[in-house]
Structure 1
């Protein structure tokens, strides 16, 4: 039997037209390129070592004890929901009810997707800080919403949010602001004043906000401040985080969101028809991870700050213009000082030129030209790997 590909005369395309602009992600393409060429993969953001041994053993213990091997509760196992609320209270002074205001998800990716599918309808406008993580655009499209980018632009070595531009982007059709801080890919950490302005705007215009805070523990300058803690935001904010970035178990895909009971109920109504539940035994392990002492989080930041500096200095020595990040584990560079302008072409050629893989930031922009000269490198790798990458990149110096 012939399989219709969507290219036959008169046939309807197989892919939903809302997703037609979205093909294979750049992360899959560049990781495949790294594997094919044997290059050092500084493109996709995953660590090359596992997280704490005691947390891995906690997952093994849960498996052996039969905890989570069958369907866990829809909202997540009580131990993890309680750990999430304790974490929010201890770190930020935010109080949540573990029974009605927490939802465990298949990573932060599902949390954001379920939130947007639940809260956004056809014709609604969603403001997102550009450049943005690629799943945001696809999620908004699946919901039938309209994406309205507000672009972070480089200023004195860092990317900044223009609050006037944000305010001007709000229209009567705006339903929601999708906020990411610490911000991937630029490494920007929004300040208290910036967040206060966002909160005031949301209250004034009666907007919902979804905040992706997965890099909350990876802040090197400034501080992480959840938007939900600002006046008027407690009942209009869905706060998203996950275990992957903080504990270096990205493959476990354990995320969560905190919000008012009404918002959690709305998002759960969608989530139950996506994965229903996931990662049962890992949920118990992440509950233990969230109770690790402050020294764990301090050591994580110290280690990654040193790696940020190692890679940033190496990239600058190689001739890149470097935008040193205040948070996350990515550094954005400008390739124009190297005589280059096309990030796609540069990244596709880089493995053959010097054996390193990076990601072109243009994939995170609606206007690809704005992002064309910017390239992102991940520094969540072993120090020896970063040192070798810096050595290889040094051959690019003009």
Structure 2
């Protein structure tokens, strides 16, 4: 048989989703893959129930149902102050995963380079490779996960660099980029004529006093920013796979075509069902922030009581824990032992770092109080069980 694709030969399965399977195998509390164990807003599930008998059940417009795009444009303008044309500047995708892939295929030619901050969400490297681009990694330096502007510029000014990927708030480290940091990135993007592809799925999950600033709203950035986002985290519907791209019309025109040949379109009944959520007032988002702040305080407070070393998240719902004290050379081995012997699932940090880093694991805390308390009870004995 002829050999398979060289492009995908180095791929592994997703370590995040693998750790869910390991958690299920050992009956562990799964704090690895980032999905909630609580229900979406009732208004959304009620609407899904209403439309189930009569639809829509057939294809929507390839780039998204009209009422969905109009509601999405209103919501985005409300929070960003940026007016968006629902017909020319939005494509609805099958999750932000497809949004990022479609954006990368739109921007990159084979041989181009893309700057990625490390640690990074594991799909970004694969997205670059699938689009024929070479990822160039710039470290976010723990424990604060700040970057060196000179190192960033050295990466962005390399020949062939086409874009930078920015996850803000960041998965996995919970960093929220400040206005000063975003301005540095914007200035360099303009200086070296690069696109900035943003992943903003955690835009509403923030911890005071941190604020989310939309890169596209900075001077000179509207025309070179491609926003990738989804409804998964904001409305607790990770399984619905509803994402979107917002970008200038000439970019969206190309994204539409790529999207059409990738997936044709997002699920029509789910787009219809989530429109009430897109029309929520500010009270919903205030309560969402309060809810996640409660979960964050509960979980990191428990980690603090146990005496574990971690970085306080500024946004998103992840916390990076330093496992240096346990004496493991392999963080994946640690996570398997943690799952099997302690009964709590986590993700090895090495799956997020380009650098040779084996001292961090990632927990997520988008869970009910009972779930988090059960995890903390098990973690209380972690040193007796795992310390070498």
Taking structure 2 as the reference length, the TM-score comes to: 0.96
| C-alpha separation in 1, matches of 2:51 and 2:213 | 33
For residue 395 of structure 1, the aligned residue among 370, 381, 388 is 381
Asked if residue 364 in structure 1 is aligned to residue 347 in structure 2, the reply is no
Asked if residue 252 in structure 1 is aligned to residue 253 in structure 2, the reply is no
Residue 24 of structure 1: aligned partner: 13
| C-alpha separation in 1, matches of 2:78 and 2:328 | 47
Asked if residue 176 in structure 1 is aligned to residue 176 in structure 2, the reply is no
Residue 138 of structure 2: aligned partner: 150
For residue 125 of structure 2, the aligned residue among 132, 137, 150 is 137
| C-alpha separation in 2, matches of 1:233 and 1:280 | 32
Gaps of 5+ in 1: 1-10
Asked if residue 294 in structure 1 is aligned to residue 282 in structure 2, the reply is yes
Asked if residue 38 in structure 1 is aligned to residue 24 in structure 2, the reply is no
Residue 208 of structure 1: aligned partner: 195
Taking structure 1 as the reference length, the TM-score comes to: 0.93
The RMSD of aligned alpha carbons is 1.3
Deviations 1:306-342 (A, max 9, x none): 2112211222333421101000011111101333342
Asked if residue 326 in structure 1 is aligned to residue 314 in structure 2, the reply is yes
Residue 186 of structure 1: aligned partner: 173
Asked if residue 273 in structure 1 is aligned to residue 246 in structure 2, the reply is no
| C-alpha separation in 1, matches of 2:87 and 2:254 | 15
Secondary structure in 2 matching 1:50: coil
| C-alpha separation in 2, matches of 1:24 and 1:203 | 36
| C-alpha separation in 1, matches of 2:102 and 2:122 | 15
| C-alpha separation in 1, matches of 2:207 and 2:48 | 30
Deviations 1:143-169 (A, max 9, x none): 1100001111114xx221222211111
| C-alpha separation in 1, matches of 2:54 and 2:83 | 31
Residue 153 of structure 2: aligned partner: 167
| C-alpha separation in 2, matches of 1:307 and 1:100 | 38
CA contact (8 A) 1:343 1:360 kept: yes
Residue 335 of structure 2: aligned partner: 347
User: How many residues were matched structurally?
Assistant: 382
> What displacement does 1:298 show?
1.1
Residue 3 of structure 1: aligned partner: none
Asked if residue 110 in structure 1 is aligned to residue 106 in structure 2, the reply is no
> What displacement does 1:383 show?
0.6
Residue 7 of structure 1: aligned partner: none
| C-alpha separation in 2, matches of 1:13 and 1:45 | 35
CA contact (8 A) 1:320 1:336 kept: no
Secondary structure in 1 matching 2:12: coil
